[in-house]
Amino acid sequence: MPKKVSTMPATKPAKNTRVTAKAETDQNWGKLTKQKAPTSTKIPTTIQQDYSLKLSNDPDKFPYNEFPIRLEYQDRDVKRICWFQCYDHFHKHITRYKVINYEATTNDVALVGEVAGAKGKRL
């Protein structure tokens, strides 16, 4: 009996294309250790200010005894008034919200003339 002729082309046996784990790591090592160029050359700027407080004996400005520091500033079209328990909270608010023009007062003599970075006392 004659041999049947197939109409399908003969397939080649599959080549072993799997790379070993070590060889794969060696190939990708260059991609992993390449240092990326910085995406932005913008240098962050910080505004250095003297965060001093002025003494005020006006009882209407300090309705809360627990909050000896008062901050007033204009935020776009809204006038903001804030009270703080200690100097650190005041400093944190100024730096977080980038407040530039403000009036800061206190009714505690010990806090008058505080400067940036000083530890405030909590009442």
Radius of gyration of the chain measured on its C-alpha atoms: 35
Residue 123: pLDDT band (50, 70, 90) is very low
Report pLDDT for 83: 93
Instruction: Give pLDDT tens digits for 32-75.
Output: 666 666 666 655 555 555 677 888 888 899 998 899 999 999 98
Residue 119: pLDDT band (50, 70, 90) is very low
Edge-to-edge strands, sheet with 102-106: 54-55, 102-106, 69-75, 78-84
Residue type, 11: T
Residue type, 65: N
Beta bridge partners of 103: 72
Whether the pTM exceeds 0.85: the reply is: no
